[in-house]
A and B are shown apart, each in its own frame.
Chain A
């Protein structure tokens, strides 16, 4: 006898071990997101020159926490939820081995704790980019390796599950689009993990002062970003899956053209390969030809799949609403679902991701990079693409997904408020960051007053105060989200499992006929 949860709305079924894993990964991801948002609050009130709350050592520690929690940890731990769900419920099967998934969780968690512990001890305030020869505690590098190995175990499990479902024939034809997207996401993750090994294994020996006496900074930077920026593309691929899913949760939308969307997913595999070159455009390495081909040529093509999804997702909502009788050129936008937090956050996510994407395209144009590298433009790009785009997209997904896991959404009106607050907060934040970028405000700096110099310091203060307001609102919104989602999780599932004698096949009743 085995326990199975059936989603009354979609008919999709989940076995209990997988359900537990999904809830565990989701809860852990929410805690990480909450930690990152608290750090974000502190950073926002420090970078606003009107307040300048933290002193340098505290600020750089908070910034390291913020970067690592929000970039290195939150998206991937959360993506585990979508990976597990898309290779079980959506393929109408159960996990090959829940133990393997728990192993992945344990390794990643151990890595996370090692990284956070060394940062909290003050011996690893090196930012999430940790460029050697900046030195951190050796455990800090070791933690990254454990975390990467945990992810790799999860990828192996995901791959095995695809093979299992295919061999058992639990679904017919091609993979569901969401699973297809997550498979592309898994491929990119494996590519990124190769980069992680190349970057971190020498760094660990160097940090322990064993065997390796010197790591070339450019080698580390290139390999670090072949992991780092590729991982951002796994986030983007998962975000796109979350977009399609959120549109389905919110309006029961169907993709307008499966082929169009699948092509867009597949393109990510090609265009993300030289993505690490974006970071070395003004570094003392490579010729114009290499930089232009690797970063500008392929980098701009990289925008095409994202733009395709950015068109396809709203189009799927538009088509669904038109089929329901919504009239006029913009009627679908009026009836988008502005009282549903999933749909509000989906709209903000697509909008902000578009801005972040354009920022990235400009920053990766070879000559323009000379005016953008390491200025406020880069945080603007990250906060558009990763925070505004990916995080808000995942939030939209979680609001829609919780009821499908059997959890009742708590504080629905607050969730509505939270969606607007976060979206508007991010738009103000982006306005401040872009304004600052055009004035040349430095990034990652506790104070921008430069009291020690007699050279004229540009007047940067208004832009950064505006950034502070936006950052405060956005971080508050994220914290509210964490509160709502965690409370909904902790209130417990309302759904009773049904006992099934033979669990070979988890196909919904409608498909088993």
Chain B
């Protein structure tokens, strides 16, 4: 059985990797460089990039900001029409996203989101946008809605027994 993976390698194994095997290495390396390069270039050239706006705030401070925001722009219970140019807030708490946001198509908004208890993960269904909401850390995602409609937000991070009922809503109007 000499020469199998169960035996010490036969003498001379440490010589160069034969060129037909090196070929595969170059193919793999070029593929990787292409993918890495595309992602790196997209940071500067692409319109879709991961959120970088953030600040630290205790859950109480963040909840207070959200309440002030809701009181100012509320149009119905739990529902806020965000004026163009203003920042929006989204609070994750077991087990709902608060408040429901009404946005205008074609306007650019920054939505600040965080959690006040455990870790949550708002996902905008259909649009497949997903961000982590971590207590104590607030993050802002800047986006421009381009289609009208009502979009479900659900939670992607397990957060307790009511996780499957945790939802929110974004309405995009013309």
Contact = CB atoms under 8 A, between A and B. Distances in A.
Given A134-B160, A371-B129, A375-B156, A216 B8 contact: no
Interface residues of A, number: 87
A374 B123 contact: yes
B49 interface: yes
A417 interface: no
Interface string B110-147: 00001001110101011011111011111100000000
A162 to B, nearest CB: 13
B125 A245 contact: no
B6 A248 contact: yes
Interface residues of B, number: 72
Interface stretch (A25-33, A100-108, A285-293, A427-435): A285-293
A373 B42 contact: no
Interface string A150-164: 000000000000000
B4 A458 contact: no
Interface stretch (A168-176, A187-195, A344-352, A494-502): A168-176
A255 B167 contact: no
A252 interface: yes
A175 B90 CA distance: 57
A458 to B, nearest CB: 6
Contact of A176 (B6, B51, B138): B6
A123 interface: no
Interface string B44-55: 001011111010
Contacts of B135: 133, 217
Contact of B1 (A11, A280, A372): A11
A131 interface: yes
B76 interface: no
A485 interface: no
A134 B43 contact: no
Given A129-B158, A447-B164, A171 B4 contact: no
Interface of A: 9-12, 56-57, 60, 90, 125-127, 129, 131, 133-134, 171-178, 216-218, 221, 241, 244-245, 248, 252-260, 263, 280-285, 287-288, 291-292, 296-297, 300-301, 303-304, 307-308, 311, 361, 365-367, 369-375, 440, 442-448, 450, 452-458
